[in-house]
Structure 1
């Protein structure tokens, strides 16, 4: 069963990476801005198809090799988990490596053909954009955080009744395989980590309010509508992940207080259900929304102006993945390759947003 689960994750990663160019804005090709007039260039089309074939074929070969090897070996659960995660990361790194090859080729092609030379670069600003946003209200994210705080209080109330050794990790079979001595800190470590994660999703949803919208000057109406819808769906997706994570970690914590509500079968099944639901949610979100709402059918197309293009900000994107722009006040920016958001690493606050939660989680994890 564990082999099938890890195989499913590997297959999901392979398919998602192979189809990624289809989920992005046409004007962003392998992390490079391409004016709308040239997105159908035959070389661009060829490179996208080649990326799809190479990444999908490589991923399926790795998957077949993984299944063949693991099914013919007598591996213990820890070794199987270690090998499986290693194979998944290997597949991911191969696709990323090939992405960088495509990124360099498109960047070189753009320079050779001079697609932005002589064009009038226009930055479109919608002054009422923030007023039009329909994000999930912050209070909806705060409610699960209040529940988590209540869980911490309840844990302290039940502290005397808890066993001297509490489980902190469960193996693939659902059996607890790591324990920690009961202390006032160790018994609330999981709710504390959950609280940090809930805060991160809240900040992500609220951060979209202050992220500049990249509006296509050749199709303003549709572009604005897609941007608004993209932020709305992203906010709801963040809430979905928040609630599902809260339910999973809340139950895992409660069963340390009340072992009678748990069983090895539940502990084995629950993470699988969580992963499947999460992957299904990611798949629906990616296919339906796409990057910047590019897959959403909204509004009507306006005529394209041959001499007018969006501002070319390739210089701020390192490798098409890292955004570094000190002059941009936005902390969150839309990814160029991948669906979702990344940070503007030119702003010091972005480093705080990135590392503070990670440091807090690591401190909690290594303190129990």
Structure 2
């Protein structure tokens, strides 16, 4: 069962990586801006097909080797988990390595064919864009955080009744395999981590309010509609993750206070259900929405293929993945390769947003 669970995760990662180029808007290819006039360049289409074929093939080969090894060698759960993580990183590195190869090729093609030469760069601004946003209200994200604070208070109330050793980790079988001595800090470590993660989802939703919209000057109406829908669905996805994570981690914590409500079967099944629901949500999100709402069916206006193009900001994208622009007030920016958002590392606040929660989680985890 565990072998096929890890196998499913590996397959999901492989398929997601392989088909990523097909989920992005046509004006971006392997982290490079492509003007509307060249969006259907045959060389770019060939590069995307080749990337999908190579990553998918190598990923499936690795997956097959992993399953054969796991079924024939009968490794322990710990060895299986470590090997599975190693294979996952291998698949990620394969996709990332081939991505950089394609990034260099598309960038060279852009320079050789002079896609931006002689074109007037235009930055389109919709002054009503913020008013049109349909994000989840802030209070909806705060409610799970209030519940978590209540759980922390309840834990302190029940402190005397809790066991002397608190489980802090559960193995694939659902049985606890790591414990920490009971202290006022250790008993609330899990709710504290949950609170930090809830805060991250809140910041993600709030950050989209102030993220600049990259509107395509050749297709303004469609671009605005897709951008608005992309933010709306991203906000709903963040809320879904916050709620499901609160339910799962809240139950884990409650069973340390009330062991009678816990069972090995539930502890095994709950993370599995959470994982399946997360994969389903991610799958629906990327297939229905795509990056920047590119897969949403919008009544398109007629593209204008004049000598006007969007502002070419390739210089701010390092490798097409890391965005550094100190003149851009946005903290969150849309990814160029992949689905979702990344940070503008040209703004000091972005470093706090990235490392602040990470440091808090590590401090809590290593203090146990």
2:196 aligns to what?
Answer: 196
How much has 1:17 moved relative to structure 2? Answer: 0.5
Q: Deviations 1:219-242 (Å, cap 9, x if unpaired)?
A: 111100000000000000000000
Whole-Å separation in 1 of the counterparts to 2:160 and 2:11: 46
Q: Is the 8 A contact 1:323 1:344 kept in 2?
A: yes
1:16 aligns to what?
Answer: 16
Whole-Å separation in 2 of the counterparts to 1:241 and 1:200: 11
2:113 aligns to what?
Answer: 113
Q: 1:320-359 to 2 correspondence within 5 Å?
A: 320-359=320-359
Whole-Å separation in 2 of the counterparts to 1:89 and 1:276: 20
Whole-Å separation in 1 of the counterparts to 2:113 and 2:270: 54
1:71 aligns to what?
Answer: 71
Whole-Å separation in 2 of the counterparts to 1:212 and 1:40: 26
Whole-Å separation in 2 of the counterparts to 1:86 and 1:196: 27
Whole-Å separation in 1 of the counterparts to 2:58 and 2:110: 28
Whole-Å separation in 1 of the counterparts to 2:90 and 2:149: 39
1:155 aligns to what?
Answer: 155
1:211 aligns to what?
Answer: 211
TM-score using structure 2 length:
0.99
> SS of the counterpart of 1:209?
coil
Q: 1:1-368 to 2 correspondence within 5 Å?
A: 1-368=1-368
TM-score using structure 1 length:
0.99
Q: Is the 8 A contact 1:225 1:299 kept in 2?
A: no
How much has 1:157 moved relative to structure 2? Answer: 0.6
State the superposition RMSD in angstroms: 0.6
Q: Is the 8 A contact 2:323 2:346 kept in 1?
A: yes
Whole-Å separation in 1 of the counterparts to 2:110 and 2:7: 38
Whole-Å separation in 1 of the counterparts to 2:10 and 2:297: 31
> SS of the counterpart of 1:206?
helix
Whole-Å separation in 2 of the counterparts to 1:347 and 1:210: 13
**Which range moved further: 298-307 or 345-354?**
298-307
> SS of the counterpart of 2:135?
coil
How much has 1:298 moved relative to structure 2? Answer: 1.5
How much has 1:91 moved relative to structure 2? Answer: 0.6
Whole-Å separation in 1 of the counterparts to 2:206 and 2:145: 15
How much has 1:122 moved relative to structure 2? Answer: 0.4
Whole-Å separation in 2 of the counterparts to 1:156 and 1:140: 26
How much has 1:299 moved relative to structure 2? Answer: 2.9
> SS of the counterpart of 1:312?
coil
> SS of the counterpart of 2:251?
helix
How much has 1:293 moved relative to structure 2? Answer: 0.4
How much has 1:55 moved relative to structure 2? Answer: 0.5
Q: Is the 8 A contact 2:36 2:305 kept in 1?
A: no
> SS of the counterpart of 1:194?
helix
Q: Is the 8 A contact 2:122 2:217 kept in 1?
A: yes
Q: Which runs of 5+ in 2 are unaligned?
A: none
Whole-Å separation in 1 of the counterparts to 2:181 and 2:156: 15
Q: Which runs of 5+ in 1 are unaligned?
A: none
> SS of the counterpart of 1:309?
strand
Q: Is the 8 A contact 1:220 1:302 kept in 2?
A: no
